[in-house]
Amino acid sequence: MRNTSLLSRTIVTAAACLFSLGAGAQEPIKVGVLHSLSGTMAISETTLKDTVLMMVEAQNEKGGVLGRPLEAVVVDPASDWPLFAERTRQLLAQDEVDVIFGAWTSVSRKAMLPVLEELNGLLFYPVQYEGEESSKNIFYTGAAPNQQAIPAVDYLMNDLGIERWVLAGTDYVYPRTTNRILEAYLKDQGVADSDIMINYTPFSHSDWQSIVADISRFGSAGKATAVVSTINGDANVPFYRELGNQGISSLDIPVIAFSVGEEELSGIDSRPLVGHMAAWNYFQSVDTPANDAFIAQWHEFIGDTSRVTNDPMEATYIGFNMWVRAVEKAGTTDVDAVEQAMIGIETPNLSGGMAVMNKNHHLSKPVLIGEIQSDGQFQVVSETDELVPGDAWSDFLPGSRDLMSDWTAPVRCGNFNTVTETCSGQSN
């Protein structure tokens, strides 16, 4: 564990102890925080660790939960996917946490999943993902493909007239599954195979010269071309830099990203990226009183007014507030009771509406398309009129279109086949 996470853990634990002394020495409710503070994903995940600590501190100032203080237990899985499973087991079996907020990549979440189900732990997962999953032990507060990837393609196709498509991603489960969905969707829309280019690169990939040259050649066929990017982590920095090096602007080949937000842009000169886009459910630039208050709270907590907010932070904020309400509703931190209490809970989002937790453990959320500005912020250019309910199973994949997730009685199944009326996976 890095010194920064140890210091954070010490500070929050000490605060919980002081709370306990003032509240009749109540046993703390332990909140696991499982985010990479080192390695390739630290660029994105460290901020989410800090977000959870901020929420824990604020909740303790309100009196904790059920009259008990919250104690954050921070561990660093170091962008090492098998280590996510080990640290999950540590948090549940050794530290005996009541809930976990954590993970970014789908490969890390999938490493955690069997441990969560074995030990009946509870995870709030705050990042967009590929769908094709619904577990009793996970609440997915980030976007499903129908809340990000599909609307992004619709915007490029209908508003910008894009005809050729580069699906560029990091080589792991989220980009590969998302691109399978997008490829099927594009073909359903009449796009030819020859107008789809798919490319994958490893985590932390840094040499983009030949790949960007290939993208440039692909885009020179006389048809409007765009890149749909599922590139993750610190590989984004050299990717966008190489676009600038080769003179590819958003007017030539626009890029719309699903894993690039304000935090990633804060570390680079964003001026050459102006006009490129991202699809999220929240941007810092959203002008609402709730967002203004959240940004002010973040700046005060982190002690730096230059620090930005982003979509996974809002998803963490929503998930944490929902968990608090569910615990209070259930009157206990028991996982099974909290899981059922979560369904149907509503809490304010930061865009001026209400987030709703649905029966499939996915949120209803607005979908926003934003253009990168020179200051690293996003100007919203498209927003859905209504909240979009997250769909755990894609309508565009043959093995998924007949599946549904419903964790309420009498179904209580994450992958219920509506044709055969059978549950083929986890149920309870």
Q: Report the amino acid identity of residue 331.
A: G
Asked if 384 and 235 sit in the same domain, the reply is yes
Whether residue 261 lies inside any domain: the answer is: yes
- Rounded to an integer, what distance in angstroms lies between the CA atom of residue 178 and that of residue 397? 11
Whether residue 314 lies inside any domain: the answer is: yes
Asked if 156 and 272 sit in the same domain, the reply is yes
pLDDT of 426 over the 80 cut: no
Q: What is the largest CA-CA distance in the chain?
A: 73
Whether residue 185 lies inside any domain: the answer is: yes
pLDDT band of residue 266 (cuts 50, 70, 90) is confident
Whether residue 407 lies inside any domain: the answer is: no
Whether residue 412 lies inside any domain: the answer is: no
Domain span including residue 295: 3-143+287-366
Asked if 345 and 385 sit in the same domain, the reply is no
Asked if 230 and 315 sit in the same domain, the reply is no
Asked if 189 and 281 sit in the same domain, the reply is yes
Q: 58: which 2 tokens?
A: 């604020």
Edge-to-edge strands, sheet with 196-201: 196-201, 164-170, 225-230, 255-257, 277-280, 368-372, 378-383
Asked if 24 and 124 sit in the same domain, the reply is yes
Which parts of 262-310 fold into alpha helices (H)? 262-265, 289-302
Asked if 188 and 256 sit in the same domain, the reply is yes
Asked if 112 and 153 sit in the same domain, the reply is no
CATH number at residue 165: 3.40.50.2300
* pLDDT at residue 9, rounded to an integer: 46
- Rounded to an integer, what distance in angstroms lies between the CA atom of residue 258 and that of residue 148? 7
Q: How far is CA 274 from the centre of its chain?
A: 24
The residues with which 363 forms a beta bridge, in sequence order, are 357
Whole-model pTM: value is 0.90
3-state secondary structure of 422: strand
Asked if 221 and 110 sit in the same domain, the reply is no
Each residue of 330-365: pLDDT tens digit? Answer: 999 999 999 999 999 999 999 999 999 999 999 999
Number of domains in the chain: 2
Task: Decide: 73 and 33 in contact? Cβ < 8 Å.
Answer: yes
Each residue of 397-420: pLDDT tens digit? Answer: 988 999 999 999 999 999 999 999
Cα angle: 237, vertex 243, 247; to 5 degrees = 145
Asked if 306 and 248 sit in the same domain, the reply is no
pLDDT of 132 over the 60 cut: yes
Asked if 333 and 277 sit in the same domain, the reply is no
Asked if 130 and 29 sit in the same domain, the reply is yes
Whether residue 269 lies inside any domain: the answer is: yes
Task: Decide: 178 and 150 in contact? Cβ < 8 Å.
Answer: no
- Rounded to an integer, what distance in angstroms lies between the CA atom of residue 108 and that of residue 235? 17
- The chain-wide mean pLDDT, for the chain, equals 93
* pLDDT at residue 6, rounded to an integer: 45
